[in-house]
Amino acid sequence: MPKKVLVNRFKCAYCGACVSVCKFNANELIETFLQIYEDKCTGCGICVKVCPMGALEVIECST
């Protein structure tokens, strides 16, 4: 089943840690907004592991 990453915007500190570790360039920090490109994201979860705020979560999606 495909996976994707969700951002809790209330927890995200926009530090860019997740952007720096994504080898698929699926994350982009735009001022105070974290954009996750679902077409590039594989749901590997490395960004979730490095997020110091616990603002990211990998979920399974139906499509």
- pLDDT of residue 62 exceeding 80: no
Q: What is the pLDDT of residue 63?
A: 61
Is residue 44 helix, strand or coil?
coil
Q: Tens of pLDDT along 21-59?
A: 999 999 999 988 999 999 999 999 999 999 999 999 999
Is residue 4 helix, strand or coil?
strand
Mean pLDDT over 7-11 rounds to 95
Q: What is the pLDDT of residue 8?
A: 95
Could you tell me if 27 and 34 are in contact, meaning their C-beta atoms sit under 8 angstroms apart? yes
22: Cβ contacts below 8 Å, ≥ 6 apart: 46, 47
The band of 1, judged by pLDDT with boundaries at 50, 70 and 90, is confident
